[in-house]
A and B are shown apart, each in its own frame.
Chain A
Amino acid sequence: AQKVTQAQTEISVVEKEDVTLDCVYETRDTTYYLFWYKQPPSGELVFLIRRNSFDEQNEISGRYSWNFQKSTSSFNFTITASQVVDSAVYFCALTYDKIIFGKGTRLHILP
């Protein structure tokens, strides 16, 4: 079965701290994509990052970085030097012939 698990329901950190959001997925497919989306209070999901199953290279983009490990089926997302504007719900998603979202992690950045 295809599944995405975000075990962290809610996280609070003080501004400027680094924070890592965890995502574990299950799939039988060999070709798939993994995404992170951010949902601010306004409601629309905003695309952050995408990775395909054949590319385990981890990268940094500005304050965002991600760690994709097929061996542990994990796709974790890190925000460095967090800011209050990063407060939102973050969703990890898996796509194969359909898209499945995790239940989300609500992130509070405290000033």
Chain B
Amino acid sequence: ETGVTQSPTHLIKTRGQQVTLRCSSQSGHNTVSWYQQALGQGPQFIFQYYREEENGRGNFPPRFSGLQFPNYSSELNVNALELDDSALYLCASSTGSYSGANVLTFGAGSRLTVL
């Protein structure tokens, strides 16, 4: 059973650029969620996808967008990058539509640095 894999592991962008982060969910999981973790902080929920549709969103602006594909893998896209977007971006997968009971399986994250 493979876990959650994320790519790239590290990347550096400049302010105003766009970035795409990728996530492959754990085998058998059909729900993917994304989190932003700034240094020294807890993860903050960005959004969640279930069966290719967004079904939950945190307090992030529209320049944070995503996709889920038929194989349940997912992308996080961030446009017009700002310095404050520098963070570890975590992807997590789970089963079923959103439920507070869902146990999340996390990837190791993509560390984004915006200069």
Binding site for B on A (CB under 8 A): 4, 31-33, 35, 37, 42-47, 50, 52, 91, 93, 95-104
Binding site for A on B (CB under 8 A): 3-4, 33, 40-45, 56, 58, 88, 90, 92, 98, 100-109
Nearest B residue (CB) for A103? B42
Q: For the complex, what is the distance from the CA of A43 to the CA of B58, rounded to whole Å?
A: 22
Contact of A104 among B42, B56, B106 (CB under 8 A): B42
Inter-chain contact B42/A101, CB cutoff 8 Å: yes
Q: Measured between C-beta atoms, what is the minimum distance from A44 to chain B in Å? A: 4
Inter-chain contact A101/B108, CB cutoff 8 Å: no
On chain B, the residues within 8 Å of A50 by CB distance are: 101, 103
Inter-chain contact B88/A33, CB cutoff 8 Å: no
Inter-chain contact B108/A95, CB cutoff 8 Å: no
On chain B, the residues within 8 Å of A52 by CB distance are: 101
Are A45 and B90 CB-contacts (below 8 A) given A100-B45, A103-B41? yes
Inter-chain contact A98/B43, CB cutoff 8 Å: no
Nearest A residue (CB) for B92? A45
Q: For the complex, what is the distance from the CA of A7 to the CA of B33, rounded to whole Å?
A: 27
Q: For the complex, what is the distance from the CA of A101 to the CA of B45, rounded to whole Å?
A: 9
On chain A, the residues within 8 Å of B42 by CB distance are: 4, 91, 93, 101-104
Contact of B100 among A31, A47, A103 (CB under 8 A): A31
Q: Can you give 8 A-B contacts (C-beta < 8 A)?
A: A44-B3, A44-B106, A46-B106, A52-B101, A95-B101, A97-B98, A103-B40, A104-B41
Inter-chain contact A101/B43, CB cutoff 8 Å: yes
Besides A44-B4, A95-B102, A102-B42, 16 other CB < 8 A contacts? A31-B100, A42-B108, A43-B90, A43-B109, A44-B108, A44-B109, A45-B104, A46-B106, A47-B103, A50-B101, A95-B101, A99-B100, A99-B104, A103-B40, A103-B42, A104-B40
On chain A, the residues within 8 Å of B43 by CB distance are: 45, 91, 101
Q: For the complex, what is the distance from the CA of A35 to the CA of B56, rounded to whole Å?
A: 19
Closest 9 CB pairs of A and B: A101-B42, A95-B100, A43-B108, A45-B106, A44-B106, A44-B108, A33-B100, A43-B109, A103-B42
